[in-house]
Structure 1
Amino acid sequence: MNGGKLQSNILNMWLYICGFLLLWEWLRPLKQLTDTANLTVFIIFLVISLVLAYFKVNIFVRNGIKLLYVLYTINLLYFEDSFFKLKWFFYVTDSVIENMRAVFQGSWVSLTDDFRSILFFILLGLMAYLLRYWLISRRQIFVFFFMTLLYITVLDTFTPYEAEFAIVRTIVIGFALMGILTFYRILDRENLQMPAAFARKWLIPLVGMVCVSIIIGYAAPKASPIWPDPVPYIKSYSQDNREDGNGSGGIRKVGYGMDDSTLGGPFMPDDTVVYETEVDHRQYWKVETKDVYTGKGWVIAEENGEKIAFAQGEEFPISNYTDEEMTVDERTATIRPFLQYPHIIYPLGLKVVENDIGHSYEVDLSLEKISGADLGNLPGIGQYTVEYESPRFSIRGMMSTVDQNHPLLTEDFLARYTQLPDELPERVRDLALELTQDKENWYEKAKAIEDYFGRVDFQYDQKDVAVPGRNEDYVDQFLFETQKGYCDNFSTSMVVMLRSIGIPARWVKGYTEGDFRGMTDSGKRLYVITNNNAHSWVEVFFPEVGWVPFEPTKGFSNNAQFTFDLDSEQPGQQDDVLEAPEAPEVDKPEETDAPEQSAQTSFSWKDTFDKTTQFLRTNWLWFAAAIAVLTLTTYILYKTRLKWLPYFLIFRYRRRKNDEDFPEAYIALLTQLNRYGLKRNQEQTLREYARYVDHYFSSGEMSALTSTYEQYLYKGKLQEGSWENTKELWENLIKKTIA
């Protein structure tokens, strides 16, 4: 019996080892195909999870060990503080809260690396649990083996990963696992023990068959392919092979590009790092603006436009603001390029650019794009610092513009920034008029169009994005046909709709703030900008204020700041003034209904999440203490269950008098005896088990109870008074299980 148990433990150990090797095949390609580093710590986590599961460590202890390992690894990879200092732990807590807020907002690209690592640990923990379930409980592994093989072959076909030996390893491991599991299923089905000789008779042929199959596979001649290789044909669809004017195109990588003449089509994510910034607060980074819409995309008005040179330290020669009394915050930021671009990125309100090299810059007036003027043999622009004024735009100033009757709105200016192609479908203009028909000023009209893209009809998607055909307009297709796209679709559509009703607007390209990576020693925020952060948005011109950014893309938020400097008799209701400056008076009954409607329409998951996280952050110590007490109480109750659970069972069934309660009480007794340590083997009948229990307790109570239960099983009912006659016997046995 002991030899069979030892043999079973050895086979289980081999199951865990083979399962780990199968999981390892999923991790091997990550280092080559992604920027995932330090794979060793994740592999060690898998080993720890499977070893703890193999030795059947208590679930609380097991999860505690894994949690400590995850926290230690996060500290080791992302923090310089000692593990025993709590400062880094509080930062991790704040980081998790901020990242969960980003998850709720759908801003997946803003997740930080430490949070991604935590999610990866959770994923690996779930995979280890599922692997144990498939191997030990279900004795089935074919589906996971097949998916692993498919995963490796796809990577081998479509990526640089060389999977020749990985496929062989997976085949060997998979066949070995399926052979051992088949052996287990035969034992379970036939109710056989596991003598060592029987295991060897099964395993030796299995190993020999796998080895011979591998040798034959390598040595046998390979026939030439009958059909042509389909892979080049499939891969051709992933190339950037647009044909001008025919509406067809392929998948492109996301990132900054100079050619915007043909928009549309899907994008592949690209997490290549392009910039690193140290800033005071999150903001967008501008590269250029474009103002000529063709119906298919954006082009440059003047190929060789006028350029103005300015040296480092000199004031930037372009101002986008007309309000000289605008409230501004003086800020500085440091930008470190990782790719050698000849241009720079700059924030709203740029004043001065400085660098260590000392070269000067020039700005293209038609694009407002800043490039290095005297790079010489330098490959690109190095690290630089910008001084800028972060403006607070006046709502009053923007709402003061109601038409084009203003000295700054010259004929040339309006012709440039309200330009539209003659072929623009009329329904685009009709939609813009419909959305703004009850708005009296330009600000309200711009906000109405911006808010329109927040409706549920529109979806943010980078993959399933259409390309307009030869006779289709890019904006018209998005607004009325697909309503699915990314930033280019949303921003271009808003610019075109604003221009169609006479409001000057332009299309802006650049980057979002990037991924937050923590605080620097100087107290600034560190962001990493990748190609995934490439973005486009809208700027609208208000004569009393200047160019103001708007953000129509669903899932993104405008970083611009606004001053609600409106005159109002009730200062607490300025938002109502913005939405309806001349709201009509309503009857008293309607006023009593208004709060209910406001409560219903103002509910926001984001606000609820923010309030909840703020409450948890304030009272986290109490919650931690409560969770610790609850966990300790649960653990104590579990460990002492043999002392208190019998009393609970007696209390539960003592007052029951119906004979129908006897079968339930008998099953509860079997469970309690098993919990006590008197386990019933699968091959034992109830009578044999009853004799075993009676022999252990030196009584005949279990046999009497079992005889009554068998009458119930065979006849389907009990004699009247059966439960009353056997209740005392049942209670006596329950009391004997008190530890």
Structure 2
Amino acid sequence: MNSRFGKIQYSWYFISCIVWVLIMSAQWISFVKPIWYEETSVLVLDILIAAAAAEVVLPFRRWLKWGVKIAAVVLIHYWVLQNFNVLASDGPLLPVGIIRFISQVEPYIWFSLPAWGLFELAIRLSDYRGFILLFTGMNILAFAILDSFTSYYLWPQVAWTVFAGLSWLVCFHFRKYQMKYPQGWRHLRLYPFRVVTNIVIIFCCILLLGISMPEVSPLLTDPYSAWQNIQGNKYEKQDEPESKPQDSASGYSRDDSKLGGGFNFDFSTVMTVTSPKRTYWRGETRSFYTGTGWLSPSNPDDQRYKFGQNIGVNEPGSELGRKVKTERVEQTFVMAGKRTYPVLFGAYSISKINLLKEEERQKGPDAVWNWRDEFMAWNGFGLTQKHDGYPTTYKVVSQMPIIPLEELSKASYDSLYQGANLAKYTQLNAEFPDRVKQLAKKVTAEGKTPYEKMVLLQDYLKVNFNYTNTPDLSLKKHDDLVEGFLFDIKEGYCDYFSTSMVVMARSIGIPARWVKGFSSGHQNFEGPEHMNREPEGPYTVTNADAHSWAEVYFGEDYGWVTFEATPGFDLPLNVSQDKPAMAPVKPEVSTPVKKTPEPASKQEDSSSYIGWLAAALGTAIVIAAGYLAWKYRNALYYTLLRLRKGRELTSGEKIITETNRWLGHIRKWGFGREAHETLREVITRWKQDAPMLESSFNELLAQFEKAKYSPEQVNDQDWRKIQSMLQDITRTIKKIYS
């Protein structure tokens, strides 16, 4: 194997094999990125890139190259884990530092070293067709099984793996053709565009055929369904109701008129929030239930808002309770992307918003304060230009209500709602199913006050229904979203739970509204000693943290109170310190858990490290590209010349071209040529000035005139001989005249 591998090193085929294996490896890294710690993904990717770069760029012997690789792997482990604050940097290097490094890096090498070993094995077996087929097939099969029997959507990974595998086989075919028919390979190189065009057409036809194939029901039953059938649990798939597509991604929705369906988690960052309080980042509210989702008619009382002005949170018209004290909380939002949202986010209840960038303030943005539902609608500015308008950094001042739970839990229905107009927040569609109302009455029967009834309703939903981002829609038999969830599907995500909480509360006469935004996100703690306190953040909020919840109105005395009915989510209420809380506050756990808080990591360090790493990799790529361009400059020159002429140059043309290039190169040592002089004339003159080069000059002249004037055919051997001769003459001239 080593001898065969040695033959393909530094060839175009070897470099292409590295590229295809890297593409396949990248698909696995993208798959495990939401599951692994961030430093693990960065570590594996860096090691694979370093190993690939070492194979392509370093012109060392094999044992020396392996030494460089091992040193690079150790340094990458140290740099990555140091930048993610996994390694402790205090104490002497020897021997304490080495021992600590080995102990702390040990959990990570079980991921990084097997990935590196598999990469090295793959490129060393790349000269065997059977291995290429086996390697590609196992990757495709693994992705297909994970896609079919888990909640992951992995067809993009399958498509890239198929593309890399097909490209690898094409390169293998051409490599074998080159080795078996060298003359035919030289002829084939005369028509590069024709060959590439045919390959591209074949690939496009294969991909279009795969995309356009109709969906066919499976001929074989999967093992789980077969086992269920054996147990007597027959499963018959019904027509899937029309709903949100299963391949949509999580994120802040724009249209809530038709909720339901399923989605895939998108863990890309939306924003970071610095706040002394952990809470939900509120967006919009919805009040009109349609049976399939929510609508929010425009409020004619909406007010234009000038940034920096105060919003009167305790003035008439404000929905904060009269008996509720508030706590001033400042939050700073830094948006991670360029997406525009319909609102500005903030903790309840917003009292002021400031834009922090001068250029954004000067553009005169336009915002509308919906004082009745208490959210800041964003109209933006300059929206004729792409991505222009939504602020990148802004500060929100909120007056967070401090709920007197003991007092609220004793307040009766009449004392809370007597004389209040509750029509807007008790609205239900005309076809609202009566059995949902009866279920709500049954669940809350033991509650004596509205607050107690809402706690019973919240706990019922959390305990009796399961969270999933891919509910089985085939079980749904009823059109109403809540009825289908409660009696048919019995599983779902936040939209199902929050909507059910709101409409069930309304069905028993308690006003409620539906709210959407983002949950708190996750923090990067500074160390184990800080695990029991709540730092100011920043909180990293991703598209996977997009969330919806319920707010229940308890009259003018207490205002709106948040309820969280979705399993796995717990928003701590801001309650009076001298009053007992409803239940012990648990740390928020989003479903599924992307990763536990990192033991000692700051997002700023991670971001700066990633930026540094990107700059370093970019610099390395530029240096490597420059080195390769310089090393293979002659081959690159003749490739460009061939493309310009549209055909392969003959050996005679290469001799003439190379000689003319050489004549221009040696001018700097005093070997100039006048415009009227032929090569014979100038060499006759040079032999007088440099008699020690007379034999070399004579041989060069003979080969040049043979290529240009003689009918005798020159070949590639003559061309290579001229190249070597010109290099020898140049070295001699440099030695004598430099």
Return the TM-score normalized by structure 2: 0.53
- The amino acid that maps onto 1:444 is E
Deviation at 1:419, TM superposition (A): 1.7
**Distance change >3 Å, CA 12–CA 74, structure 1 → 2:** farther
Matches within 5 A, 1:554-703: 554-563=567-576, 565-566=578-579
Matches within 5 A, 1:455-470: 455=463, 457-462=465-470, 464=472
* SS in structure 1 at match of 2:500: helix
Residues 50, 128 of structure 1: 8 Å contact kept: no
Q: 1:436, 1:466 → 2: CA distance?
A: 30
Q: 1:366, 1:408 → 2: CA distance?
A: 17
Q: 2:381, 2:553 → 1: CA distance?
A: 34
- The amino acid that maps onto 1:279 is S
Question: Are 1:144 and 2:135 an aligned pair?
Answer: yes
**1:551 aligned to which of 564, 573, 582:** 564
**Distance change >3 Å, CA 256–CA 22, structure 1 → 2:** closer
Matches within 5 A, 1:487-498: 487-498=494-505
Deviation at 1:162, TM superposition (A): 7.9
Give the aligned partner of residue 364 of structure 1. Answer: 370
Between stretches 386-395 and 22-31, larger displacement belongs to 22-31
Deviation at 1:556, TM superposition (A): 1.8
* SS in structure 2 at match of 1:494: helix
Give the aligned partner of residue 242 of structure 2. Answer: 247
Matches within 5 A, 1:17-28: 23-27=21-25
Deviation at 1:549, TM superposition (A): 0.9
- The amino acid that maps onto 2:278 is R
Q: Which digits, 9 at most, give the CA deviation of each residue in 1:429-461, with x for residues without a partner? A: 232223222222222222222222333641322
Give the aligned partner of residue 677 of structure 1. Answer: none
Give the aligned partner of residue 309 of structure 1. Answer: 304
Q: 1:310, 1:9 → 2: CA distance?
A: 70
Give the aligned partner of residue 341 of structure 1. Answer: 341
Percent of residue pairs identical = 23
**Distance change >3 Å, CA 342–CA 418, structure 1 → 2:** closer
**2:435 aligned to which of 424, 427, 434:** 427
Give the aligned partner of residue 701 of structure 2. Answer: none
Deviation at 1:486, TM superposition (A): 1.6
Give the aligned partner of residue 459 of structure 2. Answer: 451
* SS in structure 1 at match of 2:260: coil
Structure 2 residue runs of 5 or longer lacking an equivalent are 35-40, 92-96, 148-152, 216-239, 527-534, 590-595, 601-738
Q: 1:256, 1:604 → 2: CA distance?
A: 23
Give the aligned partner of residue 535 of structure 1. Answer: 547
* SS in structure 1 at match of 2:459: helix
Deviation at 1:374, TM superposition (A): 8.0
Q: Which digits, 9 at most, give the CA deviation of each residue in 1:468-509, with x for residues without a partner? A: 67x521011111111222211111011112222222211001
Question: Are 1:256 and 2:261 an aligned pair?
Answer: no
Q: 2:137, 2:326 → 1: CA distance?
A: 63
Q: Which digits, 9 at most, give the CA deviation of each residue in 1:378-407, with x for residues without a partner? A: 9424232111233332211320223x3136
- The amino acid that maps onto 2:567 is K
Q: 2:562, 2:429 → 1: CA distance?
A: 23
Residues 393, 563 of structure 1: 8 Å contact kept: yes
**Distance change >3 Å, CA 533–CA 206, structure 1 → 2:** farther
Residues 247, 468 of structure 1: 8 Å contact kept: no
Q: 1:456, 1:50 → 2: CA distance?
A: 57
Q: 1:366, 1:147 → 2: CA distance?
A: 58
Q: Which digits, 9 at most, give the CA deviation of each residue in 1:104-130, with x for residues without a partner? A: xxxxxxxxxxx9xx98x8645444456
Question: Are 1:505 and 2:501 an aligned pair?
Answer: no
* SS in structure 1 at match of 2:497: helix
Give the aligned partner of residue 403 of structure 2. Answer: 393
- The amino acid that maps onto 2:481 is Y
Give the aligned partner of residue 709 of structure 2. Answer: none
Give the aligned partner of residue 723 of structure 1. Answer: none
Q: Which digits, 9 at most, give the CA deviation of each residue in 1:581-605, with x for residues without a partner? A: xxxxxxxxxxxxxxxxxxxxx9999
Give the aligned partner of residue 37 of structure 2. Answer: none
Give the aligned partner of residue 280 of structure 1. Answer: 276
**Distance change >3 Å, CA 385–CA 21, structure 1 → 2:** closer
Give the aligned partner of residue 737 of structure 1. Answer: none
**Distance change >3 Å, CA 453–CA 421, structure 1 → 2:** same
Q: 1:48, 1:220 → 2: CA distance?
A: 30
Q: 1:441, 1:208 → 2: CA distance?
A: 92
Deviation at 1:535, TM superposition (A): 1.3
Residues 49, 128 of structure 1: 8 Å contact kept: no
* SS in structure 2 at match of 1:405: helix
**1:41 aligned to which of 37, 46, 70:** 46
Q: Which digits, 9 at most, give the CA deviation of each residue in 1:406-425, with x for residues without a partner? A: 36554522x22122223222
Q: Which digits, 9 at most, give the CA deviation of each residue in 1:188-211, with x for residues without a partner? A: xxxxxxxxxxxxxxx987999999
Q: 1:398, 1:298 → 2: CA distance?
A: 28
Question: Are 1:231 and 2:211 an aligned pair?
Answer: yes
Residues 311, 361 of structure 1: 8 Å contact kept: yes
Q: 1:475, 1:497 → 2: CA distance?
A: 9
Deviation at 1:324, TM superposition (A): 3.8
Give the aligned partner of residue 351 of structure 1. Answer: 351
Matches within 5 A, 1:100-249: 123-128=111-116, 143-148=134-139, 166-171=164-169, 229=209, 231-232=211-212, 247-249=242-244
Between stretches 218-227 and 425-434, larger displacement belongs to 218-227
Q: Which digits, 9 at most, give the CA deviation of each residue in 1:509-541, with x for residues without a partner? A: 11122344678xxx8422343333221111112
**Distance change >3 Å, CA 9–CA 417, structure 1 → 2:** closer
Q: 1:56, 1:483 → 2: CA distance?
A: 62
Give the aligned partner of residue 478 of structure 1. Answer: 485
**1:405 aligned to which of 393, 399, 414:** 414
Residues 467, 566 of structure 2: 8 Å contact kept: no
Q: Which digits, 9 at most, give the CA deviation of each residue in 1:687-738, with x for residues without a partner? A: xxxxxxxxxxxxxxxxxxxxxxxxxxxxxxxxxxxxxxxxxxxxxxxxxxxx
Structure 1 residue runs of 5 or longer lacking an equivalent are 98-114, 180-202, 236-244, 567-573, 580-601, 607-612, 618-739
Return the TM-score normalized by structure 1: 0.53
* SS in structure 2 at match of 1:450: helix
**Distance change >3 Å, CA 16–CA 377, structure 1 → 2:** closer
Q: Which digits, 9 at most, give the CA deviation of each residue in 1:172-199, with x for residues without a partner? A: 688999x9xxxxxxxxxxxxxxxxxxxx
Q: Which digits, 9 at most, give the CA deviation of each residue in 1:12-36, with x for residues without a partner? A: 9999999966642314569999999
Q: 2:207, 2:304 → 1: CA distance?
A: 61
Residues 341, 380 of structure 1: 8 Å contact kept: no
Residues 462, 565 of structure 2: 8 Å contact kept: yes
- The amino acid that maps onto 2:449 is N
Give the aligned partner of residue 222 of structure 2. Answer: none
**Distance change >3 Å, CA 71–CA 453, structure 1 → 2:** farther
**1:526 aligned to which of 529, 533, 538:** 538
Q: 2:275, 2:21 → 1: CA distance?
A: 41
* SS in structure 2 at match of 1:453: helix
**Distance change >3 Å, CA 142–CA 226, structure 1 → 2:** closer
- The amino acid that maps onto 2:320 is Y
Q: Size of the alignment, in residue pairs?
A: 502
- The amino acid that maps onto 2:276 is D
**Distance change >3 Å, CA 534–CA 322, structure 1 → 2:** same
Deviation at 1:234, TM superposition (A): 6.6
